[in-house]
Structure 1
Amino acid sequence: MSRSGSSPPANQGGNPFGGGPDANGQTSGQDGKARLTEEEKKQNHIASEQKRREAIRAGFDRLCELVPGLEGQGRSEGLVLKRTVEYMKEQLERRRELVKDLEARGDHVPDNLKDPLKILEVLESMQQAAANTPEKPE
C-alpha cells in the first residue's frame, strides 16, 4: 500500500548503494551524485593532460627567460635542462669565489650564504662518480 504524497523509494535501481540509471542513462553513486560517462571521463583526462603539458611548457619558457643564451631561440627540453644546469653551476662557482675572496679579506661570511655551495660539492662528487663508472653494454 502506498500513501499518497509520498516520494518514490530512493533505491529504484535495486542497487543497495544508490539509485539506478537516470533519464540520461547515468547511474548515481552512494552520495547521489551522477557518475561521469566514459566520454566525460575521456574529456576530463584530455583537459588535465593539456593543463599539465602547458604548465611544463610555461616552466621551460621561464627557464629560457632566466638562463642567458636561451631566450628567443628554438630549443629542445634536453638543451634547456643542460644549459640550466651549466648556468647554475657557473653561478655557484661564482658564489664560491666571492665567499673565498671575502674570507681572504678577513670578512665574516654567514653560514647561510655558504650553504648553497654544498649543492655544488654534491654535484661535483656525482659527476666524478659518473665519470668513473663504466657504461653498461646494451
Structure 2
Amino acid sequence: MAGPVRKRETHIASEQRRRQHIKDGFRKLSEQLHWNDEGGATAQRSEVAILQRSIDYIKELIAEQNELEERLRVEGKGVPMDTQFHNGEASNSSA
C-alpha cells in the first residue's frame, strides 16, 4: 500500500510546484506590464487579463517598430532584415 500512497504524494508535490511556477510566471509578467503602478502596490489581476494585456502590449511594440522602420525607409536608411516585423510576425531573412 505504501507504493500508491507515495506515488500520489509525489504527484501532489509535483502539481504544487507546477502551479507555483505558473503563478510566479504570471507575477513576473504582470510586473513587466507595470500593473503594480495601478491600483496599489500589489493589485491582483486575473491570468486572462494579464495575457490579454500582454498581447495588447506586444501589438503596440510591433506597431511602434513598424512605424520606426517606415521612418527609416522614408529617410533612405536601411532596416536590417532580422528586425523587421509584419502583421505581428518576424520576417525570416533565410526563408
Fold match (TM-score > 0.5): yes
Number of positions where the alignment pairs a residue of Structure 1 with one of Structure 2: 85
Equivalent residue of 2:88, what SS? helix
Residue 59 (structure 1) aligns with: 25
Aligned counterparts of 2:80 and 2:29: Cα–Cα separation in 1: 29
| 1:85 and 2:55 matched | yes
Which one has more relative contact order, counting CA pairs under 8 Å at least 6 apart?
2
The 8 Å contact of residues 66 and 86 in structure 2, kept in 1 or not, is answered as no
TM-score, structure 1 as length reference: 0.57
Aligned counterparts of 1:121 and 1:41: Cα–Cα separation in 2: 44
Runs (5+) with no aligned partner, structure 1: 1-24, 26-35, 123-138
Which structure dedicates a bigger proportion of its chain to strand? 2
Which structure dedicates a bigger proportion of its chain to helix? 2
- Would you identify which runs of 4 or more consecutive aligned residues in structure 1 move more than 4 Å? none
Q: CA RMSD in A?
A: 1.9
Residue identity opposite 1:104 in structure 2: V
TM-score, structure 2 as length reference: 0.81
Residue identity opposite 1:86 in structure 2: D
Alpha-carbon shift at residue 106 of structure 1 (Å): 0.5
